[in-house]
Homo-oligomer: A and B are copies of this chain.
Amino acid sequence: MSSVTIPPPECMLRPLEVPFRYLFGPGPSNVPPRVLAAGGRGIIGHMHPEMYEIMNDIKKGIQYAFQTQNNMTIAMSGSGHAAMECAVFNTVEPGESVLVAVNGIWGERVAEIAERMGANVHIMVKAPGGVFSNEEIEKALAKHKPVLFFLTHGESSAGLAHPVDGIGDLCRKHNTLFLVDAVASLGASPIFMDQQNIDILYTGSQKALNAPPGTAPISFNERACQKMFNRKTKPVSYLFDMAHLSNYWGNDGQPARLSFGPISGLLCLSHQYLVFVFPQGLEESWRHHREVAGYLWKGLEDMGLKLFIQNKDLRLPSVTTIAIPEGYNWREMLQYIMKHHNMEMTGGLGPSTGMVSVRGMLKF
């Protein structure tokens, strides 16, 4: 007969301690009290009519934020990384060609995801923060004939806002789906899913959208749906299979069952759009980010620091990267700032380790 032999840990007696921090790293962001309060509302069932109404409102909010009319627009359970896997798993079949623009950690990640699921992966590589010209992209599209081309709009590891104009048209010409990662940029830097012919776009809740981490808005246009709903093989993940997720979001008019939505996270997301993006509008959010980033850039440069992205027009307004002067230890500096000012800034990621990222905006 089995019995309880492992005692309750003593830490359970301690009250929960959550210190306040100014989150000036690339994410997660500080979440405004009103949004947090939305997540603290009581739980309702994931299949109740009121939950569907909230989800429907969230869908409309994402359509506005993405500037798209795509019906296949949902918020996934998980981080932006979950949306990244979802996009690749659903639109690519094993053996198909995928082209990935790598100029920081997120391209590297997508290449690895596509490789793991058996795609034939081709990469175009630039140094962190490098910009791919439309000519270079078209040449690679013509050469590799990929079913999917991946580009990071907001390359947070370098602080780059990559230009997107014209690439969607090139992808159409070459019968390629255009997948864009806007995790670090959406809400802070302009992007227009429909007008820019982006076939699949995703972001995360915890960056410029100022909601807690745990949900990831994603949208697929008709071209992407055509490809993903006419597969020969099933996507390797059941959890991320858009055939199920789209039903859960009522895209067949018949709610699916068995998917547990992250209900508190969705309430936050709902309240986020409600309270923040709407009253000021997208243009004002972009303008404000740009303005605040401008002050930050000037202040940093006045101190004699060098920003990693030279061209102001290519800088991400939500994440600023500072090249660390020789002779300074970035880890020590970040620890000092955290210890004495309660401010989080972070070192670079992957290829940009050794640079420092800082956000200039705190919205309350």
Interface residues of A (CB under 8 A from B): 2-9, 11-21, 23, 25, 27-31, 36-48, 50, 54, 56-57, 60-61, 63-64, 67-69, 77-82, 85, 105, 109, 112-113, 116-117, 165, 190, 192, 194-196, 204, 206, 212-214, 234-239, 257-265, 267-268, 270-271, 273-274, 277-278, 281-283, 344, 346, 349
Chain B residues, CB < 8 A from A17: 50
Closest 5 CB pairs of A and B: A40-B40, A9-B60, A214-B262, A12-B278, A79-B260
Complex: A214 Cα to B29 Cα, angstroms:
19
| Contact between B238 and A112, CB atoms less than 8 A apart | yes
| Contact between A48 and B77, CB atoms less than 8 A apart | no
| Contact between B260 and A80, CB atoms less than 8 A apart | yes
12 residue pairs bridging A and B, Cβ less than 8 Å apart: A2-B165, A8-B64, A12-B278, A13-B274, A14-B274, A25-B45, A46-B213, A105-B258, A112-B238, A116-B235, A213-B261, A262-B265
Complex: A324 Cα to B345 Cα, angstroms:
59
Complex: A153 Cα to B299 Cα, angstroms:
60
A23 — nearest CB in chain B belongs to which residue?
B45
Shortest beta-carbon distance, A59 to chain B, in Å?
9
Chain B residues, CB < 8 A from A264: 36, 39, 212-214, 264-265, 268
Shortest beta-carbon distance, A96 to chain B, in Å?
15
| Contact between B23 and A61, CB atoms less than 8 A apart | no
Chain B residues, CB < 8 A from A42: 18, 20-21, 30-31, 36
| Contact between B40 and A260, CB atoms less than 8 A apart | no
Shortest beta-carbon distance, A192 to chain B, in Å?
4
| Contact between A36 and B41, CB atoms less than 8 A apart | yes
Chain B residues, CB < 8 A from A192: 2-4
Shortest beta-carbon distance, A185 to chain B, in Å?
14
Shortest beta-carbon distance, A210 to chain B, in Å?
9
| Contact between A61 and B12, CB atoms less than 8 A apart | yes
* Identical subunits present: 2
Given contacts A77-B77, A82-B239, A213-B263, 15 further A-B contacts (CB under 8 A): A2-B190, A2-B192, A6-B63, A11-B60, A16-B270, A21-B44, A23-B43, A28-B260, A36-B43, A47-B346, A77-B78, A77-B79, A85-B239, A116-B237, A258-B349
| Contact between B16 and A41, CB atoms less than 8 A apart | yes
Chain B residues, CB < 8 A from A37: 40
Chain B residues, CB < 8 A from A18: 41-42, 44, 50, 54, 267
Of residues A28, A196, A204, A349, which shows the largest number of chain B Cβ atoms within 10 Å of its Cβ? A28
Shortest beta-carbon distance, A43 to chain B, in Å?
5
Shortest beta-carbon distance, A11 to chain B, in Å?
4
| Contact between B27 and A260, CB atoms less than 8 A apart | yes
Chain B residues, CB < 8 A from A48: 21, 344
Chain B residues, CB < 8 A from A260: 27-28, 79-81, 204, 206, 213-214
Complex: A235 Cα to B196 Cα, angstroms:
35
Chain B residues, CB < 8 A from A196: 2
Of residues A28, A44, A194, A239, which shows the largest number of chain B Cβ atoms within 10 Å of its Cβ? A239
* CB within 8 Å for A4 and B283 given contacts A78-B239, A239-B85: yes
| Contact between A271 and B109, CB atoms less than 8 A apart | no
Complex: A69 Cα to B212 Cα, angstroms:
31
Chain B residues, CB < 8 A from A234: 116
